[in-house]
Chain A
Amino acid sequence: MADDKLEIINPPNALKQKVGIGGAGAVDLEALERAEQVIAGMTDSYLEWVVEDLKKIEQAYLALASARGDKKEEVKAVFQISHDIKGQGGSFGYDLMTAIGNELCRLIEKADKVGASEIAAIKLHIDALKLVITEDLKGNGGKEGEQMLSGLQKVCDKLLV
């Protein structure tokens, strides 16, 4: 094959051969609604998971706050947990956890350095995440949630100029 040539391959559609259409096992709107209910039923499990994650992120933050040097490993630890929190919240109706987690990830990813201001901002985000769970702020958290998120966004925007 010459270097500039493209080869097009059509693999057999293995998926279509294995799925059925309709019938008792079909995923229709009712099945999707049932699935949503199953996930909603996992909320208690989620709250247990997130409480654990919040403990872990607090520990990771304390390690970061007392770290010296480039703090790369400590920042990475905080990022990893905030990334998990961000990924899970919305699936269980805690969209604000996802939104705040997203802001925290953005802050850590985009910050050129992690100095005192950035560490203080990370702490603000962690406290906000805890508040969402202790106050049980579901969805976007209403007015309180909107204000909280907008405040955090302003803090991030200021630091990320």
Chain B
Amino acid sequence: MADYDISNLKFLVVDDDANMRQLIRTILGSLGVSAVEAAGGADQGYAMLGKFAADIAICDLRMDPLNGIDFARMVRTGDDSPNIYLPIIMLTGHAELTAVQQARDVGVHEFLTKPVAPAKLYKTIEGLIEKPRAFVRSKGYFGPDRRRRADPNFPGQERRRKV
């Protein structure tokens, strides 16, 4: 792992569990990050982005009434979204494969399975720093490129064009 100083990064934490918000805030603080805002719901978190220019959002998948998928969709495609490219880390539990697939399809960058620990969270942040993903806009999708590697044996028609 590279030793990055991430103290200048701003984080938005969106989780309906207050204890989890506190835990993540503490982990980020112990990694040197002081600019952390937290929201208890997807709509509240989205609204917060208007006044807090987060560099990374950490959002729980399971929330009610709007969940992490709704949050990611708002960020990527909302008419008033302040940053459609915002890196989003989605917190998930185990055995949530269907929901993870849905989250991937609305433009989530990375997944972090609970329980959260400092090294796991840092590694995820490090991945965002070191391997920024291109964004893809197609008829049915806008978000980070879901192909992480070029596949020389890709059998389909290459539809991609660079802009």
How near does chain B come to A40, taking the closest CB pair, in angstroms?
11
Assess the A21–B4 pair: CB atoms within 8 A.
Answer: yes
Assess the B117–A91 pair: CB atoms within 8 A.
Answer: yes
Complexed CA–CA distance, A6 and B31 (Å): 38
Residues facing A in B1-32 (CB within 8 A) are 2-9, 17, 19-20, 22-23, 26-27, 29-32
Against A, the Cβ 8 Å flags (1 = close, 0 = not) of B28-63 are 011110000000000000000000000110000010
Assess the B5–A22 pair: CB atoms within 8 A.
Answer: yes
Assess the A83–B3 pair: CB atoms within 8 A.
Answer: no
* Residue in A4, A25, A86 whose CB lies within 8 Å of B32: A25
How near does chain A come to B158, taking the closest CB pair, in angstroms?
9
Chain A to chain B contacts (Cβ below 8 Å), 20 pairs: A5-B159, A6-B136, A7-B137, A8-B162, A19-B5, A19-B129, A20-B8, A23-B5, A26-B5, A27-B3, A32-B122, A36-B119, A49-B19, A87-B20, A87-B91, A87-B114, A88-B17, A90-B115, A105-B93, A105-B95
Assess the A35–B30 pair: CB atoms within 8 A.
Answer: yes
Q: Does B110 contact A (CB under 8 A)?
A: no
Closest 5 CB pairs of A and B: A90-B115, A35-B118, A35-B30, A20-B5, A26-B3
Given contacts A7-B161, A8-B136, A22-B3, contact A39 B87 (CB under 8 A): no
Assess the B93–A87 pair: CB atoms within 8 A.
Answer: yes
User: Total contacts A to B, CB within 8 angstroms?
Assistant: 158
Which residues of chain A are within 8 angstroms of B7 by Cβ–Cβ distance? 25
Given contacts A21-B3, A25-B32, contact A86 B138 (CB under 8 A): no
* Residue in B2, B23, B117 whose CB lies within 8 Å of A21: B2
Residues facing B in A21-66 (CB within 8 A) are 21-28, 31-32, 34-36, 38-39, 42, 45-46, 49
Given contacts A15-B87, A98-B115, A102-B94, contact A9 B9 (CB under 8 A): no
Which residues of chain A are within 8 angstroms of B56 by Cβ–Cβ distance? 15
> In which size bucket is the chain B interface?
35 or more
Assess the B159–A20 pair: CB atoms within 8 A.
Answer: no
How near does chain B come to A90, taking the closest CB pair, in angstroms?
3
Q: How many residues of A contact B (CB 8 A)?
A: 52
Complexed CA–CA distance, A28 and B4 (Å): 8
Which residues of chain B are within 8 angstroms of A7 by Cβ–Cβ distance? 136-138, 161, 163
Complexed CA–CA distance, A91 and B115 (Å): 5
Q: Does A112 contact B (CB under 8 A)?
A: no
Complexed CA–CA distance, A26 and B26 (Å): 17
Q: Does B66 contact A (CB under 8 A)?
A: no
How near does chain B come to A88, taking the closest CB pair, in angstroms?
6
Assess the A88–B115 pair: CB atoms within 8 A.
Answer: yes
* Residue in A8, A19, A34, A36 whose CB lies within 8 Å of B8: A19
How near does chain B come to A147, taking the closest CB pair, in angstroms?
21
